[in-house]
């Protein structure tokens, strides 16, 4: 022990007040507080001297806190400010301006991936297959997608705004759901071709197309009744004891044909490089009935809680939570050292 002899500030958002969505949307926001404790503990186990800093939604205070930080590294777990996930990128921008070394992705990658229509364009331009889709800002714009389709908020993550009613069978239902999303989440809705087959999570460490891939995760939909859409809903991810939670199982990916695995790897690496993610990320993919793979979602700075998908993938690949967190810290410190050397 004692390999990581640096001073680290673990920063996280403390903002139960939400801009959009309902009361239940707060559960996902509060999970970051427990995550910060686990990350701090793991960093200490590796020898770092650690302080935890809660970021509250007061702009001047945030800038003052950063200006007064005297540490070698900021471990950035801030996912939103005042409940607004768009400020995740702004906070990374403030870290950049502060001159402090920090873990995870830069503001650009965080901003692109939180904007689903934009990230679809970036991925497609890089040759990464995405489902067909259309963005509706009002609800009545032209809509040319195959059905069934899924309707999602364009600028949320953590499955906010996703439930059984998100999957629709025709244009009228798609428009109705889009209007609901626009109204409730105050942002455009994305209507996307529904990719009906197996769903995988690919965790990556590092950056670019050469990033290290961890053991694939897979969502097991076997317990879903025939009339319930096979998707990871907000309840399935966050509301313990709900029907969706009880039937949404995840674990190591089951048997995959070599060609399918190779294609999932190609798309995961391609997506990660195209978004410009750094240090750690997770790419969600699905197969369709014919075995073609699609990227559904790219997540820079994914949840690092010990019981969340990323840490479980690391564990299957032989890394403890402490080793995982130390590796992420090292990547950020190496990047800083390389920049100081003028590399």
Ligand X SMILES: Nc1ncnc2c1ncn2[C@@H]1O[C@H](COP(=O)(O)OP(=O)(O)O)[C@@H](O)[C@H]1O
297 binds Mg ion (CB under 5 A): yes
Applying CB under 6 A, which of residues 65, 195, 205, 329 lies at the interface with ligand X? 195
Task: Judge contact between 302 and 308, C-beta under 8 A.
Answer: yes
109 binds ligand X (CB under 6 A): no
Q: Of the candidates 46, 38, 47, 45, which has an alpha carbon nearest to the alpha carbon of residue 10?
A: 38
Q: What is the rounded distance in angstroms from the CA atom of residue 19 to the CA atom of residue 82? A: 7
Q: What is the rounded distance in angstroms from the CA atom of residue 219 to the CA atom of residue 231? A: 9
CA atoms within 13 A on the CB side of 244: 17
295 binds ligand X (CB under 6 A): no
248 binds ligand X (CB under 6 A): no
Binding mask 66-95 for Mg ion (x = CB under 5 A): ------------------------------
Task: Judge contact between 200 and 217, C-beta under 8 A.
Answer: yes
Cα dihedral 263, 155, 239, 149 sign: negative
The stretch near ligand X (CB under 6 A) out of 42-50, 56-64, 102-110, 188-196 is 188-196
The stretch near Mg ion (CB under 5 A) out of 51-59, 131-139, 254-262, 280-288 is 280-288
Question: Smaller CB distance to ligand X: residue 163 or 265?
Answer: 163
177 binds ligand X (CB under 6 A): no
182 binds ligand X (CB under 6 A): no
Q: Which residue is nearest to Mg ion (CB)?
A: 297
Number of residues that bind Mg ion (CB under 5 A): 2
Question: Smaller CB distance to Mg ion: residue 53 or 293?
Answer: 293
- Distance between alpha carbon 162 and the CA centroid of its chain, in Å? 15
Per-residue exposure over 277-289, b if at least 16 CB sit within 10 Å of its own CB, e if not: bbbbbbbbbbbee
Q: How far is the CB of 193 from ligand X (least distance, A)?
A: 6
The stretch near Mg ion (CB under 5 A) out of 38-46, 170-178, 219-227, 282-290 is 282-290
25 binds ligand X (CB under 6 A): no
The stretch near ligand X (CB under 6 A) out of 18-26, 71-79, 187-195, 270-278 is 187-195
Q: What share of the chain is helix, strand, coil (3-state, %, to 5)?
A: 40, 20, 40
Applying CB under 6 A, which of residues 100, 158, 271, 313 lies at the interface with ligand X? 158
303 binds ligand X (CB under 6 A): no
Q: List strands edge to edge, sheet with 167-168.
A: 133-136, 189-193, 149-153, 167-168
Number of residues that bind ligand X (CB under 6 A): 20
Question: Smaller CB distance to ligand X: residue 206 or 302?
Answer: 302
Q: What is the rounded distance in angstroms from the CA atom of residue 65 to the CA atom of residue 56? A: 10
Task: Judge contact between 214 and 313, C-beta under 8 A.
Answer: yes
Applying CB under 6 A, which of residues 35, 296, 304, 325 lies at the interface with ligand X? 296
Q: Of the candidates 108, 109, 57, 104, which has an alpha carbon nearest to the alpha carbon of residue 83?
A: 57
Q: Which residue is nearest to ligand X (CB)?
A: 297
User: Which spans of this chain sit near ligand X (rule: CB under 6 A)?
Assistant: 131, 150, 152, 156-160, 162, 192-195, 199, 231-232, 284, 286, 296-297
**Residue numbers at the binding site for Mg ion (CB under 5 A):** 284, 297
């Amino acid at each position: 022990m004692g390999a990581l002899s640096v001073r680290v500030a673990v920063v996280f958002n403390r903002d139960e007040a939400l801009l959009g969505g309902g009361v239940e949307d707060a559960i996902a926001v509060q999970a970051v507080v427990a995550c910060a404790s686990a990350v701090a503990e793991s960093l200490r186990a590796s020898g770092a001297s650690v302080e935890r800093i809660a970021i509250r939604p007061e702009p001047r205070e945030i800038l003052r806190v950063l200006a007064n930080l005297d540490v070698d590294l900021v471990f950035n777990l801030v996912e939103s400010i005042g409940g607004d996930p768009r400020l995740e990128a702004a906070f990374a921008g403030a870290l950049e301006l502060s001159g402090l070394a920090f873990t995870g992705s830069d503001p650009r990658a965080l901003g692109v991936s939180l904007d689903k229509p934009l990230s679809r364009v970036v991925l497609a331009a890089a040759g990464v297959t995405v489902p067909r889709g259309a963005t509706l800002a009002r609800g009545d714009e032209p809509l040319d997608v195959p059905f069934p389709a899924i309707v999602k908020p364009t600028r949320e993550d953590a499955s906010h705004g996703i439930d059984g009613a998100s999957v629709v069978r025709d244009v009228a239902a798609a428009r109705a759901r889009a209007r609901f999303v626009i109204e409730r989440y105050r942002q455009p809705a994305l209507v996307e071709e529904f990719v009906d087959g197996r769903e995988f999570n690919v965790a990556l460490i590092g950056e670019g197309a050469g990033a290290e891939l961890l053991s694939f995760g897979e969502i097991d939909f076997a317990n879903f009744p025939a009339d319930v859409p096979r998707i990871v809903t907000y309840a399935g991810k966050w509301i313990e004891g709900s029907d969706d939670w009880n039937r949404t199982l995840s674990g190591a990916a089951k048997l995959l044909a070599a060609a399918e695995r190779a294609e999932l790897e190609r798309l995961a690496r391609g997506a990660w490089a195209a978004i410009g993610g750094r240090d750690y990320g997770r790419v969600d993919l699905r197969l369709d009935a014919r075995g073609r793979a699609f990227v559904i979602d790219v997540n820079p700075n994914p949840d690092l809680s010990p019981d969340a998908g990323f840490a479980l993938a690391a564990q299957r690949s032989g890394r403890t939570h402490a080793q995982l967190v130390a590796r992420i810290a090292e990547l950020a410190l190496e990047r800083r050292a390389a920049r100081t050397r003028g590399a």
